[in-house]
Amino acid sequence: MRCSRMEDRAGIAALAFNFARQLGFDQRSCWEVCIVVQELVSNLVRHAQGGDIELRSGLGLLEVRATDSGPGIPLAVLQDRHRWARGLGAVQRLMHELEIGTVGDPTHLAALGMSSRDGGTCILARRYLEKVR
């Protein structure tokens, strides 16, 4: 789903809530996935002038993938995850796994399926149906 305006947050988050519900997640987990999607859409719009959100499922798994072709996340920000308060910090706390690839880290970006020549960032967050945090 393409997101280019802050107004896209609510609609895409509602789709994510419904998707999680269809996969069998409880209501609290669905709301947490909804918050994650809102944070990722906000980041795409604020920092990269837009991007794409993709929702995928596997066996007992929901994935949220956010991609953009913006300037990337500074490596100093990525390396100091303990200072993340909101935004990516919320994503990290509410999901079971978080992977980030960005322009300054071409190896990790390639591992997430993007080329450094594409620019930007790829964030992959996973939530498991049965896993307890």
Q: Model confidence over 83-128: pLDDT tens digits?
A: 776 788 899 999 999 998 887 666 666 666 666 566 688 899 999 9
| H/E element, 90 | helix 88-94
* Contact call for residues 98 and 92 (beta carbons, < 8 A): yes
User: Buried b / exposed e across 80-111, counting CB within 10 Å, b at 16+?
Assistant: eeeeeeeebebbbebbeebebbbbbbeeebee
pLDDT for position 132: 62
Helix (H, G, I), strand (E, B) or coil at 20: helix
The first and second tokens of residue 21, run together, are 């519900």
